[in-house]
């Protein structure tokens, strides 16, 4: 599949060169002219020579139109442009008739037929000029759409890099705070903590810089995060994570779910003064549909903070990323109920 895509990209790049698609256009026009002439006169050599002269004058008309009339007149006044285009064709047509007339020197039947068909030649020249105008308008519109899409893509990539630059330190600082709290207790589980932290940092620094990562790696990251939280939270805290489906084959944007997990502790379980709090997470993959549900306990009133809350960018960022990466392919539902906070995210992968 990748080889096919590479070959198609190379073909597209080759055909996008101006000299290539102009040459192909004129070859197609010349072939059609010769075929029509041969069908009428049944003389292949005559058709080739006649239509070569016609092709030369078509090229004069088209490139005068593309290089001068359209840039100079069309943007200012379409009626003026159309009048000048007809005038140009009216000037070129007699010269074209003269060239063909000299070609048929001594062949009076052909010369008489040529003079009778001057109006058809003029109509053909005007038609070719109009065709080149239509093609120019289509090409300009297509280039505008391409430039617009390229700009949108660059803007999106820039915004995603900015969002990731916010997310990565955000999680790193929270994880280091967890580690600091546990080292104050002189926990015997320090080696396990360091191992989990190293896995988290490896993922954040090296593996999540791609546009998409394996869902299994995102799940491993969340499991490591939850393991660190289990070490820090009270023993009666109910923390669970269940994943079902073919998670090893799917790809997903990195660090997409972790802000919800982090917020469930920061604004939920961390404020359970009397214990008994919970964080329940489930992730289910069915074909290309993913459902992520996280619910956490919360107190009715959060305690007053003696200093302004820092951070808080995770949820805002993940909403922005969802809008950019999965437009019309996701639904996010947040329920804030007494004693419970639930987030449901559905994605089409």
**Residue 330 belongs to domain with CATH number:** 3.30.565.10
**Angstrom distance (rounded) from CA 201 to CA 205:** 6
In a domain, 249, yes or no: yes
* pLDDT, averaged in runs of 10, over the chain (349 residues): 63 79 90 88 83 92 92 88 93 88 76 80 91 90 85 70 59 68 71 79 77 89 86 81 88 86 80 74 91 87 44 64 86 88 91
**Angstrom distance (rounded) from CA 238 to CA 247:** 24
**Angstrom distance (rounded) from CA 30 to CA 51:** 7
The answer to whether residues 198 and 343 belong to one domain is yes
In a domain, 303, yes or no: yes
The answer to whether residues 205 and 143 belong to one domain is no
Question: Domain boundary at 95, 126, 147, which?
Answer: 147
In a domain, 198, yes or no: yes
DSSP 45-76: HHHHHHHHHHHHHHHHHHHHIIIIIIIIIITT
DSSP 257-289: SHHHHHHHHHTTGGG-TTS--EEEEEEEEETTE
Three-point CA angle 197, 242, 298, nearest 5°: 80
Answer yes or no: are the C-beta atoms of 70 and 61 closer than 8 Å.
no
In a domain, 97, yes or no: yes
Closest CA to 170 of 269, 312, 343, 322: 312
Counting the structural domains of the chain, the total is: 2
pLDDT number for residue 314: 59
pLDDT number for residue 225: 85
Question: Domain boundary at 147, 179, 205, which?
Answer: 147
Count the Cβ atoms, other than its own, within 10 Å of residue 179: 19
pLDDT number for residue 312: 44
**Angstrom distance (rounded) from CA 272 to CA 274:** 6
The answer to whether residues 140 and 197 belong to one domain is no
pLDDT number for residue 307: 38
In a domain, 169, yes or no: no
The answer to whether residues 309 and 207 belong to one domain is yes
Count the Cβ atoms, other than its own, within 10 Å of residue 276: 10
The answer to whether residues 270 and 126 belong to one domain is no
**Angstrom distance (rounded) from CA 73 to CA 82:** 9
φ and ψ at residue 244, rounded to 5 degrees: -135, 155
Q: Is 50 exposed, middle or buried (0-12, 13-18, 19+ CB in 10 A)?
A: buried
Residues 6+ apart with CB under 8 A from 326: 253, 347, 348
φ and ψ at residue 241, rounded to 5 degrees: -145, 120
The answer to whether residues 195 and 310 belong to one domain is yes
Q: Is 285 exposed, middle or buried (0-12, 13-18, 19+ CB in 10 A)?
A: buried
Question: Domain boundary at 88, 118, 147, which?
Answer: 147
Domain that holds residue 304: 187-348
3-class state of residue 346 by DSSP: strand
Answer yes or no: are the C-beta atoms of 240 and 294 closer than 8 Å.
no
The answer to whether residues 140 and 212 belong to one domain is no
In a domain, 205, yes or no: yes
In a domain, 238, yes or no: yes
In a domain, 209, yes or no: yes
Q: How many Cα neighbours within 13 Å face the side chain of 331? A: 6
Q: What pTM value is reported for the model?
A: 0.54
The answer to whether residues 224 and 334 belong to one domain is yes
pLDDT number for residue 184: 77
The answer to whether residues 206 and 60 belong to one domain is no
Residue 220: which H helix or E strand, with range? helix 215-232
The answer to whether residues 111 and 248 belong to one domain is no
The answer to whether residues 143 and 238 belong to one domain is no
The answer to whether residues 199 and 255 belong to one domain is yes
Beta-bridged to residue 340, according to DSSP, are: 297, 337
Residue 4 CA, chain-centre distance (Å), reads 20
């Amino acid at each position: 599949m990748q080889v096919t895509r590479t070959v198609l990209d190379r073909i597209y790049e080759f055909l996008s060169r101006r000299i290539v698609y102009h040459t192909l256009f004129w070859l197609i026009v010349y072939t059609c002219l010769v075929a029509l002439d041969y069908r009428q006169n049944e003389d292949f050599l005559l058709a080739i020579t006649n239509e070569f002269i016609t092709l030369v004058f078509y090229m004069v008309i088209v490139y005068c139109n593309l290089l001068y009339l359209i840039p100079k007149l069309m943007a200012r006044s379409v009626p003026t442009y159309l009048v000048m285009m007809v005038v140009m064709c009216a000037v070129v047509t007699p010269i074209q008739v003269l060239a063909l007339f000299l070609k048929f020197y001594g062949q009076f039947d052909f010369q008489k037929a040529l003079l009778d068909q001057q109006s058809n030649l003029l109509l053909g020249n005007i038609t070719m000029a109009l065709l080149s105008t239509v093609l120019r308008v289509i090409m300009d519109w297509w280039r505008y759409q391409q430039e617009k899409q390229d700009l949108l893509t660059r803007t999106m990539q820039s915004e995603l890099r900015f969002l990731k630059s916010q997310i990565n330190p955000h999680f790193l600082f929270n994880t280091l705070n967890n580690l600091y709290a546990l080292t104050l207790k002189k926990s015997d589980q320090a080696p396990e903590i360091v191992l989990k932290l190293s896995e988290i940092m490896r993922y954040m620094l090296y593996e999540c810089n791609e546009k998409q990562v394996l869902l299994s790696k995102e799940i491993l990251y969340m499991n490591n995060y939850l393991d660190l939280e289990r070490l820090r939270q009270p023993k009666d805290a109910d923390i669970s994570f269940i994943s079902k489906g073919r998670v090893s084959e799917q790809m997903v944007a990195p660090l997409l779910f972790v802000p919800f997990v982090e917020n469930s502790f920061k604004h939920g379980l961390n404020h359970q003064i009397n214990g008994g709090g919970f964080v329940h997470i489930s992730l289910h993959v069915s074909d290309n549909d993913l459902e992520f549900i996280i619910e956490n306990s919360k107190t009715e009133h959060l305690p007053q903070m003696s200093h302004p809350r820092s951070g808080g960018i995770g949820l805002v960022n993940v909403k922005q990323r969802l809008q950019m990466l999965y437009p019309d392919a996701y639904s996010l539902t947040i329920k804030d109920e007494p004693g419970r906070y639930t987030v449901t995210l559905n994605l089409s992968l």
